[in-house]
Amino acid sequence: MAAENYSRYQQSVIRNYYNNKDNVSLQRAQELLTDLYLAEGKKREKVWESLFMHLERLGVPADQLQHLKESNNPELVAQLIQKKI
Q: What is the pLDDT of residue 12?
A: 94
- Whether residue 33 lies inside any domain: the answer is yes
- Whether residue 8 lies inside any domain: the answer is no
- Whether residue 61 lies inside any domain: the answer is yes
Q: Which of 64, 63, 76, 65 is nearest to 37 (CA)?
A: 76
- Whether residue 12 lies inside any domain: the answer is no
Quick count: other Cβ atoms within 10 Å of Cβ 24?
Answer: 13
Give the range of the structural domain holding residue 57, as residue numbers without chain letter.
22-84
Q: What is the pTM of this model?
A: 0.75
- Whether residue 10 lies inside any domain: the answer is no
Report residues of the chain scoring pLDDT below 70: 1-3, 85
Q: What is the pLDDT of residue 85?
A: 67
Q: What is the pLDDT of residue 58?
A: 87
- Whether residue 15 lies inside any domain: the answer is no
Q: What is the pLDDT of residue 3?
A: 63
Report how many domains make up the chain.
Answer: 1
| Distance between CA atoms of residues 28 and 55, nearest Å | 10
62-71 vs 74-84: helix crossing angle, rounded to 10: 150
